[in-house]
Homo-oligomer: A and B are copies of this chain.
Amino acid sequence: MSIFVLVHGSWHDGSAWQAVVDHLEAKGHLAFAPTIAGHGKGVDKNVNHAQCTQSIVDYIVNKDLTDIVLLGHSFAGTIIAKVAEAISDHIQRLIFFNAFVLNDGESLRDNIPPDSLALFDSLAKESDDNTVMLSFDVWREAFINDADLELAQSSYAQLSPEPYQPFIDKLNLKQFYSLAISKSYLYCTEDTVLPQGEWGWHPRMSSRLGQFRFVQMPGSHEVMFSNPISLAEKIIEAGRD
């Protein structure tokens, strides 16, 4: 039996994992899906990266969860790296799931290709609260390319604007890179949120981990919606001893 803590990516909140949590629990595991500070509908979006991290640290500590498998999706790769620095003694393994793995001193913004960078910068500037929102078209074509239209629409309705400051904050990750925690990289092969190749998730991000267990499955960036059962199975493979 494993204890999974699943940390969502940008535009999402913890409810994105519901079907995955259900399947993990049906297989005899415990699974938790906290919402990062500044994320979800109707909350104050004025947060920085440290506050995002602290909210997950607090969740784990307050629930007194230990020996956890801590998974971060997409943006949350940057969160779990900092959570691991703060409370490594609570963590058995990290799973980076189509997730950013930043080099020491970088921001997430440093790791996205020029086109997306220009788009995000201008969206943040145009917003009245330094947030960025995805258009439905980008969501449907680049994020959830493996879904039908109905699922693309119902999942889009769950999204909310993403605070931009956590993308901009440069992270000191020297301690992260000295930790002895086991790591896995779980990669969905049809994910084009980062364009495949030079700017892609794998092997660009994964290779920064040093030794890691590699697990792969078909699917888009959003398989928690389009294929939650297979995702749960692969999370189990990525997280087991």
Interface residues of A (CB under 8 A from B): 137-138, 140-142, 145-146, 148-149, 182, 189-190, 192, 195-197, 200, 202-204, 206-207, 211-216, 218, 237, 240-241
Contact = CB atoms under 8 A, between A and B. Distances in A.
Contacts of A149: 240-241
Given A137-B211, A140-B213, A149-B240, 9 more contacts: A138-B211, A141-B213, A148-B240, A149-B241, A190-B214, A195-B207, A196-B206, A197-B203, A197-B207
A21 to B, nearest CB: 22
Contacts of A214: 145, 190, 192, 196
Given A148-B240, A189-B216, A216-B190, A142 B211 contact: yes
A38 to B, nearest CB: 28
A195 B218 CA distance: 20
Given A213-B145, A216-B218, A240-B149, A203 B196 contact: yes
A141 B195 contact: no
Contacts of A145: 213-215
A43 to B, nearest CB: 30
A141 B212 contact: yes
A234 to B, nearest CB: 11
Return the 5 tightest CB-CB contacts between A and B, nearest first: A197-B203, A196-B203, A149-B241, A192-B214, A145-B213
Nearest to A148: B240
A71 to B, nearest CB: 16
Contacts of A190: 214-216
A182 B215 contact: no
Contacts of A218: 216
Contacts of A196: 202-203, 206-207, 214
A148 B196 CA distance: 30
Nearest to A212: B141
Nearest to A210: B115
